[in-house]
Amino acid sequence: MARRRAPNQSRKNRLSPVMVAAIVLVVVVLVASFAFQGLIGVSPANRRNQVDFVSNDFSGKPVHLSDYRGRPVLVHLWASWCPPCRAEMPDLIKYYNAHQAEGLVLLAVDTSDQANPAQQFVREQQMPFPVLFDPSGAVQQVFGANGLPSTFLIDRDGNLRFTHTGQISPAILEQRVTPLLSQ
């Protein structure tokens, strides 16, 4: 004769639907976070993700990222109200001045900001590169950037090769970006 389990014992050995759903959710979140890091994190040298956008400069002239195909482009998202953005700008200017002879283009995209404080900061810093104004954050969405400042290197073929979120240091620029300029 088969032995029956008491109702309480069978419930103890089974997972509730809520527990199963919670486990599935955790697994999905973990898998998605690893996948997201692979796409938006620092790209491996062989990664190929072509990106493009158009944004206006402060005079209203549209600038297309693809206009710079054939040259490495450092796209830097910043805002005048962002303290780390303000702090790193002198280092970005120095880096640009040191590497523009290698063909480097730096597009500083002021995003989610107001025009007057942004233009004042551009004048104060005497930025020697194109500055684009993106008050709606559309360029930030193209790159999937979740914070400011964010920096992206687009290679000569238009492929995303490097990403960095947060204040970028001269050491990171030299170690991670400079080797990619000649490729």
Q: What is the CATH number of the domain that holds 147?
A: 3.40.30.10
What count of other Cβ atoms lies within 10 Å of the Cβ of residue 15? 10
5-45, pLDDT tens digit by residue?
555 555 555 667 776 665 666 555 444 443 333 333 443 44
The reported pLDDT for the residue numbered 172 is 96
Name the one residue in this structure whose structure tokens are 């930025």: 127
Whether residue 51 has pLDDT greater than 80: yes
Q: Is residue 48 part of a domain?
A: no
Instruction: Calculate the CA 84 to chain-centre distance.
Output: 15
Is residue 103 domain-shared with residue 14, that is, in the same domain? no
53-98, pLDDT tens digit by residue?
999 999 999 999 999 999 999 999 999 999 999 999 999 999 999 9
Q: Is residue 73 part of a domain?
A: yes
Q: Is residue 47 part of a domain?
A: no
Is residue 33 domain-shared with residue 110, that is, in the same domain? no
Is residue 67 domain-shared with residue 20, that is, in the same domain? no
Q: Is residue 49 part of a domain?
A: no
Q: Is residue 126 part of a domain?
A: yes
Q: Is residue 105 part of a domain?
A: yes
Is residue 60 domain-shared with residue 26, that is, in the same domain? no
Residues 109, 73: contact at Cβ < 8 Å?
A: no
Q: What is the pTM of this model?
A: 0.74
Q: Is residue 128 part of a domain?
A: yes
Bridge partners, 50 (sequence order): 159
Is residue 81 domain-shared with residue 153, that is, in the same domain? yes
Which residues lie closer than 8 Å to 135 by C-beta, 6 or more apart? 111, 112, 113, 114, 115
Q: In what order do the strands lie in the sheet with 160-165?
A: 62-64, 54-57, 131-134, 105-111, 73-78, 150-154, 160-165
The reported pLDDT for the residue numbered 49 is 74
Domain that holds residue 33: 7-40
Is residue 128 domain-shared with residue 171, that is, in the same domain? yes
Q: How many domains does the chain have?
A: 2
Is residue 27 domain-shared with residue 105, that is, in the same domain? no
Q: Is residue 46 part of a domain?
A: no
Bridge partners, 152 (sequence order): 75, 163
The reported pLDDT for the residue numbered 4 is 57
